[in-house]
Structure 1
Amino acid sequence: MPSERHFRRTARLERPPRGCPLASHWICTGCAGTAATRFAPHTNGDTMGRVEFEIIEGIKEIDAAAWDQLVGADSPFLEYGFLRALEDSGCVGSDSGWHPQFLVARDSDAPDRLVGAMPLYLKLHSMGEFVFDWSWADAAQRAGIRYYPKAVVAVPMTPIQGRRILVDAALAPDDALAIKKTLVETAIDFAQKVGLSSVHFNFIMPDEVAIFEALDLPIRVGMQFHWHNHNGAEDAQKYSDFDAFLGRFRSKKRANIRRERRKLTNAGVRTRVVAGAAVTPAHLDRVFDYYRDTIDKLEWGRQYLNREFFQHLGEQLPQRLHLVMAEQDGEEFGGAFNLYKNAGLYGRYWGCTKEVEFAHFETCLYRPLDWCIEHGVEVFQPGAQGPHKYDRGFDPTPTYSAHWIRDPRLADAVGQFIAHERAEMRAHIKELRQDSPINR
């Protein structure tokens, strides 16, 4: 347990460089907002000295190996390569409205050692977050409360659950818990120092919820549809093949899925998985074209990523790439872009140059499920939205976010909204599970 905790406030507030999107606001630079915490010796006899918390303006200023050591087996979207690709391509930083302010914790006795971190961004808008707070911003404006800039702890443009409080797995449990709590407290303290309206911790992991609850932050509950590789039996065996998965469906739903796949086969449509080192720059060029085509077709579509991002990702994180390419009579016409890591597959983008009935389901759901079953992948998260996923065996799954709001009037109103929404969402998830197309 921590024997002593003290904070060394040496914040230095400066205006950002000319041209920075936050040029009209005071922001924290360098070692601004540092805090120090003293911990008791580890039970193994090693002594960790004072832990200092520091804001760093960009992932490129952090050692890649040190960052990824904190990420461990967690989401590929938290890995250095993914975050670096976002920065190098200009999708965050500059005039994007996402300004990196990574919060890191260092062992002062070994400054190169990171013992904790948090992917924090200053935001000038609410786009690309997928935990929607537009109504909160509108309410703030009506009340004369400035809502932007704010802070978001998340992976930009990525509605995927992942750990938002990263700590060194080698830490003693008490030390790890103390650092997690202090990371959250320091993020809030940083927001207060620089005059931000709020801090939003989006798509946190279920086992992180208790940390935020202990700090009296309201927990918002959302919903996505995830697939889990187990047959529903008490011993929870993985599926042996796609037919074993279909065997859990009610007969009508099972027949519908088989009909959809059969119709594509009869139409000469084939899909293939291209993953890891097999993915070439040409593949990624086409994936970007498919991504942009989908955005152009959607009335509300917004392009957050550019061609350079996909190419940088191919250079920075090739081992995580997973593409499903669709062709008809030998001519490619569409594809899905996914990432994978350890026991998880994560769907992100899809597009096509021509419309072929059921091609979306095959490319984004059925073929990835084939691959997951073949490779023993435990969880497939195909992204936000999509009641069509529910009809095809994806479970309604709660997602969580935590929110700190500076103005007490807005905080009270948002807290009441979250409590009401949370009760409704939990009831909705329960109802969907009871009516699931899968026999339980």
Structure 2
Amino acid sequence: MDQAQIEIRVLSSLSQIAETEWDACACPEAAAGRRPNDPFTTHRFLRALEESGSVGRGTGWQPQYLTCYLDDQLIACAPLYAKGHSQGEYIFDHSWAHAYEQAGGRYYPKLQMAVPFTPATGRRFLVRPGYEAQGISALTQGAVQLASNNQISSLHVTFCTEVEAAVGKELGLLPRISQQFHWLNEGYAGFEDFLGALSSRKRKAIRKERAQAQAFGGSITTYSGADLRVEHWDAFWRFYQDTGSRKWGSPYLTRAFFDIVHETMAEDISLVLAERDGQAVAGALNFIGAEALYGRYWGCIEHHPCLHFELCYYQAIDLAIAKGLARVEAGAQGEHKLARGYLPTETYSLHWIGDSGFRRAVADYLEAERAAVDEEIDILTSYGPFKKTQVEEQE
């Protein structure tokens, strides 16, 4: 099909496009009544970021959504933002920005094709089924042209799928490999079945941690759908503020974001709260996809031994097994996840650099980094908690 037939439009807000139109590309499976594979690229999630003021004016995340039309039908779209900094991305390029500006260049603004504040793998090139080749090509060309026309230094496509990374490389983008820790469901019948796959020592350690956590003096409850109430979000907002101020300096999301997703995404949410004497003292927020549970935020107002591990990791495993989900993505960083059954997994991004000299330098860096990441994954996997042999000492 002639690429010239495709019209590319840039939108400054998702209010400029119908939810059904966007989601026909972002989550076509939902049209048949199924849960979206990726809750984060849905119109309602991205719109919640906008309407809550979590992105937009003053945040350093200015929406520049790309849409591709063929004969007035939307065939592809992408969450694209003009960035004034490198915060909230989790595949970071701070060193690139420093080097570029030390050489006299202007690194910001840049373009970021991503879901803000969300280190979860998913499609970034949102294409209507049947238009995959044309759609990805058009979105790539459109984003690069937008950057070039506006003298923008670079384009970054973060936490894309492995397939998109391969296609993007063929289209001339620079591929980058990072890693985070995921728990994989090997068809476990329950948590005890999962524990049976671990070495005896790790199995005992996890049971001890769960017992310590459960002894904090209250109860642990998972809320979803109609069970979620406004007071749950009031409690979680206190947790989120504490975590945000310690990790990022200030929270990325506004209070209004949680109110909006309460109204529009309650069925996509699992909120785990530890409650004692009628008060929530800690909590973990997860989003539910068709194949994965995505751990997003944790916080507390009291410290209790192992409660973090229980709410964030073990409760997530319980829920994934109960729902038959293939994996748990527990967010960025954290080698402590390894001992709890979360193994290192490759994540992918794509990059376009306008300056040819700087592009060569980044390409060389990425090649060396890729080898280092591969080695790190191999080493970390070898230290995983799973049995190394078919016959191992029993408890």
TM-score (norm 1): 0.84
Q: Which amino acid in 2 is paired with 1:125?
A: H
- CA distance in structure 1 between the aligned counterparts of 2:224 and 2:101, rounded to whole angstroms: 47
Corresponding position of 2:12 = 57
Q: Is the 8 A contact 2:293 2:325 kept in 1?
A: yes
**How far apart are residue 61 of structure 1 and its match?**
1.1
Bigger drift between 89-98 and 367-376 goes to 367-376
Matched, 1:271 2:227: no
TM-score (norm 2): 0.93
Corresponding position of 1:223 = 179
**How far apart are residue 320 of structure 1 and its match?**
0.8
Q: 2:64 aligns with which of 84, 94, 101?
A: 101
Corresponding position of 1:280 = 229
Bigger drift between 51-60 and 419-428 goes to 51-60
- CA distance in structure 2 between the aligned counterparts of 1:54 and 1:304, rounded to whole angstroms: 28
Corresponding position of 1:68 = 23
SS class of match (1:391): helix
1:116-131 matches, within 5 Å, as 116-131=76-91
Q: Is the 8 A contact 1:285 1:311 kept in 2?
A: no
**How far apart are residue 330 of structure 1 and its match?**
5.2
**Higher RCO, Cα 8 Å, sep 6+:** 2
- CA distance in structure 1 between the aligned counterparts of 2:308 and 2:314, rounded to whole angstroms: 9
Deviations 1:188-239 (A, max 9, x none): 0111011111000001101111111102222111111011110xxxxxxx10
Corresponding position of 1:77 = 40
Deviations 1:318-358 (A, max 9, x none): 22111001123554211111110222111111111110010
Corresponding position of 1:15 = none
**How far apart are residue 269 of structure 1 and its match?**
3.8
Corresponding position of 1:318 = 266
Q: Which amino acid in 1 is paired with 2:121?
A: Q
Q: Which amino acid in 1 is paired with 2:371?
A: A
1:233-312 matches, within 5 Å, as 238-298=187-247, 300-312=248-260
1:45-194 matches, within 5 Å, as 51-72=6-27, 73-108=36-71, 111=72, 113-169=73-129, 171=130, 175-194=131-150
| Structure whose CA Rg is larger | 1
Deviations 1:57-95 (A, max 9, x none): 111211101111212233101111110111001111111
Corresponding position of 2:290 = 342
**How far apart are residue 295 of structure 1 and its match?**
2.3
Higher helix share: 2
Q: Is the 8 A contact 1:106 1:114 kept in 2?
A: yes
SS class of match (2:296): strand
Residues 418 and 302 of structure 1: CA distance in aligned 2, closer, same or farther (over 3 Å)? farther
Q: Is the 8 A contact 2:3 2:134 kept in 1?
A: no
**How far apart are residue 158 of structure 1 and its match?**
0.9
SS class of match (1:360): helix
- CA distance in structure 2 between the aligned counterparts of 1:301 and 1:359, rounded to whole angstroms: 24
Corresponding position of 1:27 = none
- CA distance in structure 2 between the aligned counterparts of 1:251 and 1:291, rounded to whole angstroms: 36
SS class of match (2:340): coil
- CA distance in structure 2 between the aligned counterparts of 1:331 and 1:316, rounded to whole angstroms: 25
Residues 267 and 125 of structure 1: CA distance in aligned 2, closer, same or farther (over 3 Å)? closer
Residues 144 and 104 of structure 1: CA distance in aligned 2, closer, same or farther (over 3 Å)? same
**How far apart are residue 293 of structure 1 and its match?**
1.4
Q: Is the 8 A contact 2:341 2:385 kept in 1?
A: yes
1:412-423 matches, within 5 Å, as 412-423=360-371
Deviations 1:229-267 (A, max 9, x none): 10xxxxxxx101101101111111111110111123334
**How far apart are residue 395 of structure 1 and its match?**
1.4
Identity %: 39
Corresponding position of 1:14 = none
Corresponding position of 2:316 = 368
Q: Which amino acid in 2 is paired with 1:268?
A: G
SS class of match (1:401): strand
- CA distance in structure 2 between the aligned counterparts of 1:150 and 1:266, rounded to whole angstroms: 48
Corresponding position of 1:199 = 155
Q: Which amino acid in 2 is paired with 1:392?
A: R
Matched, 1:430 2:373: no
- CA distance in structure 1 between the aligned counterparts of 2:171 and 2:364, rounded to whole angstroms: 17
Q: Is the 8 A contact 2:63 2:81 kept in 1?
A: yes
Q: Is the 8 A contact 1:347 1:382 kept in 2?
A: yes
Q: Which amino acid in 1 is paired with 2:379?
A: E
- CA distance in structure 2 between the aligned counterparts of 1:53 and 1:336, rounded to whole angstroms: 39
Q: Is the 8 A contact 2:181 2:343 kept in 1?
A: yes
- CA distance in structure 1 between the aligned counterparts of 2:250 and 2:362, rounded to whole angstroms: 27
Corresponding position of 1:411 = 359
Q: Is the 8 A contact 2:114 2:124 kept in 1?
A: yes
SS class of match (1:129): coil
Count, aligned residues: 380
Deviations 1:385-439 (A, max 9, x none): 1111111001110001010000112111111111110110011112222232112
Q: Is the 8 A contact 1:74 1:163 kept in 2?
A: no
Q: Is the 8 A contact 1:271 1:367 kept in 2?
A: no
**How far apart are residue 297 of structure 1 and its match?**
3.7
1:13-32 matches, within 5 Å, as none
- CA distance in structure 1 between the aligned counterparts of 2:255 and 2:7, rounded to whole angstroms: 38
User: Which sections of structure 1, spanning at least 5 residues, go unmatched?
Assistant: 7-36, 38-50, 231-237
Q: Which amino acid in 2 is paired with 1:291?
A: Y
- CA distance in structure 2 between the aligned counterparts of 1:228 and 1:265, rounded to whole angstroms: 24
CA RMSD of aligned residues (A): 1.4
Corresponding position of 2:304 = 356
- CA distance in structure 1 between the aligned counterparts of 2:96 and 2:218, rounded to whole angstroms: 46
